């Protein structure tokens, strides 16, 4: 019996290095009403790019006309490692490039199978796509109360990407159930109480938003809650029972293996690195890293806050700093 093309395609996705793969048909995004309501409440903060292209996000056939199906993939970056000042996803090389390269390899395989004229486009966290919506429709998981996509065998410490194709493919069944039950650990653990309701985050309160996307000074009232988070935050994932049970170790090698400088649990030492006046130090630290997203000024601001928070806890090893902007 000939193996269906869809099964071979998903197997090939795993073969090029992804950890999950599913197929869905492109079309209207089911979460558009919720996304529109979220924007209307200004929960996106300063991420004005989310307002742009809302029409494109409403229907996945619009960003790249002619596309019919998507292979949606997940790549685990390892949640079973100590928490630290840098969120786990940013401790290795920039995941965008890693994902794009593998999706391009997958596209070349599709062309070898179905002909060189097959059109495809890879998306990884940068296009006008509601990616969680697409991933749920492809059967990869459900939306947790912390807004993360959760897979029943891998938890939530993974990246999502997709390869759009102009091929009609038999889709997988959407993930139709949620398995958080009555658990509210993620909501209760959030240091800044960023969740205004289960599954609804006010990004303006989120440590990841504040330390990465927010430009300019951070309000003094929010600085203490940032604690020692220099870049991003994993707290709502750390406490999730699905991650406690299924999170994988970080890659031991390869592009997503944690860099020693970013895998450290010593927030003070890393913060002092980002305060360095050496003009070569910042480029050397973040070269090829997703941490560039925060900008040099943003990381220096975060470093000052981390050092001030440690000093406020009366740690004599932390040298005085200027008040954070």
Burial 308-324 (b: 16+ CB within 10 A, else e): bbbbeeeeeebeebeeb
pLDDT at 312: 73
Beta strands in 20-178 (DSSP E): 20-25, 69-76, 120-123, 142-143, 149-150, 158-165
Can you tell me the distance from the alpha carbon of 239 to that of 218, in angstroms, rounded to the nearest whole number?
Answer: 26
Residue 316 has pLDDT above 90, yes or no: no
- Active site annotation includes 125: yes
Distance of CA 218 to the CA centre of its chain: 22
For residue range 56-74, list pLDDT tens digits in order: 999 999 999 999 999 999 9
pLDDT at 202: 98
pLDDT at 323: 41
Q: What is the mean pLDDT of residues 71-97?
A: 97
Q: Average pLDDT over the chain, rounded to whole?
A: 95
Can you tell me the distance from the alpha carbon of 186 to that of 114, in angstroms, rounded to the nearest whole number?
Answer: 44
Catalytic residue among 48, 59, 93, 125: 125
Q: How confident is the model at residue 324 (pLDDT cuts 50, 70, 90)?
A: very low
Token pair in block for residue 144 = 């947790």
Beta strands in 166-273 (DSSP E): 195-197, 200-201
Beta strands in 183-242 (DSSP E): 195-197, 200-201
Q: What is the mean pLDDT of residues 182-187?
A: 98
Please check whether residue 224 is in contact with residue 309, taking contact to mean a CB–CB distance below 8 angstroms: yes
pLDDT at 325: 40
Mark residue 173 as left, alpha or beta (left: phi above 0; alpha: psi -120 to 50; beta: remaining): beta
Can you tell me the distance from the alpha carbon of 252 to that of 200, in angstroms, rounded to the nearest whole number?
Answer: 34
For residue range 229-265, list pLDDT tens digits in order: 999 999 999 999 999 999 999 999 999 999 999 999 9
pLDDT at 1: 76
Please check whether residue 13 is in contact with residue 106, taking contact to mean a CB–CB distance below 8 angstroms: yes
Q: What angle do CA 29, 33, 35 make, to 5 degrees?
A: 85
Token pair in block for residue 33 = 């009403």
Give the list of residues 6+ apart from residue 269 with CB closer than 8 angstroms, or none. Answer: none
Residue 315 has pLDDT above 60, yes or no: no
Residue 90 has pLDDT above 80, yes or no: yes
For residue range 290-308, list pLDDT tens digits in order: 999 999 999 999 999 999 9
Q: How confident is the model at residue 213 (pLDDT cuts 50, 70, 90)?
A: very high
Q: State the Cα torsion 164-249-240-215 to the nearest 10°.
A: -60
pLDDT at 135: 98
Please check whether residue 107 is in contact with residue 10, taking contact to mean a CB–CB distance below 8 angstroms: no
Q: How confident is the model at residue 313 (pLDDT cuts 50, 70, 90)?
A: low
pLDDT at 317: 54
Helix (H, G, I), strand (E, B) or coil at 323: coil
Can you tell me the distance from the alpha carbon of 11 to that of 209, in angstroms, rounded to the nearest whole number?
Answer: 35
Q: How many residues are listed for the chain in this entry?
A: 325
Residue 122 has pLDDT above 90, yes or no: yes
């Amino acid at each position: 019996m000939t193996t269906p093309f869809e099964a071979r395609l998903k197997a090939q996705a795993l073969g090029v290095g992804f950890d999950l793969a599913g197929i869905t048909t492109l079309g209207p995004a089911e979460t558009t009403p919720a996304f529109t309501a979220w924007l209307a409440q200004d929960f996106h903060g300063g991420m004005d790019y989310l307002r742009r292209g809302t029409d494109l996000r409403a229907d996945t056939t619009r960003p790249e006309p002619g596309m019919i199906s998507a292979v949606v993939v997940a790549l685990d970056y390892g949640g079973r490692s100590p928490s630290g000042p840098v969120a786990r996803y940013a401790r290795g090389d920039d995941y965008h490039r890693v994902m794009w390269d593998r999706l391009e390899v997958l596209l070349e395989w599709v062309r070898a199978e179905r002909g060189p004229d097959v059109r495809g486009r890879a998306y990884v966290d940068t296009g006008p796509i509601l990616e969680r919506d697409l991933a749920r429709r492809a059967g990869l998981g459900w939306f947790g109360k912390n807004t993360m996509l959760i897979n029943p065998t891998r938890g939530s410490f993974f990246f999502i990407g997709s390869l759009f194709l102009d091929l009609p493919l038999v889709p997988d069944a959407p993930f139709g159930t949620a398995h958080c039950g009555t658990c509210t650990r993620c909501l209760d653990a959030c240091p800044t109480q960023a969740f205004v309701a289960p599954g609804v985050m006010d990004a303006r309160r989120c440590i990841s938003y504040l330390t990465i996307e927010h430009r300019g000074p951070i309000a003094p009232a929010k600085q203490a809650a940032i604690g020692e988070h220099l870049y991003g935050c994993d707290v709502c994932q750390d406490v999730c029972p699905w991650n406690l049970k299924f999170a994988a170790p970080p890659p031991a090698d390869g592009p997503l293996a944690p860099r020693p400088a970013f895998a450290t649990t010593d927030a003070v030492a890393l913060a002092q690195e980002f305060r360095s006046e050496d003009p070569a130090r910042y480029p050397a630290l973040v070269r090829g890293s997703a941490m560039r997203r925060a900008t040099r000024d943003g990381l220096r601001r975060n470093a000052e806050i981390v050092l001030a928070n440690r000093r406020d806890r009366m740690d004599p090893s932390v040298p005085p700093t200027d008040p954070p902007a």
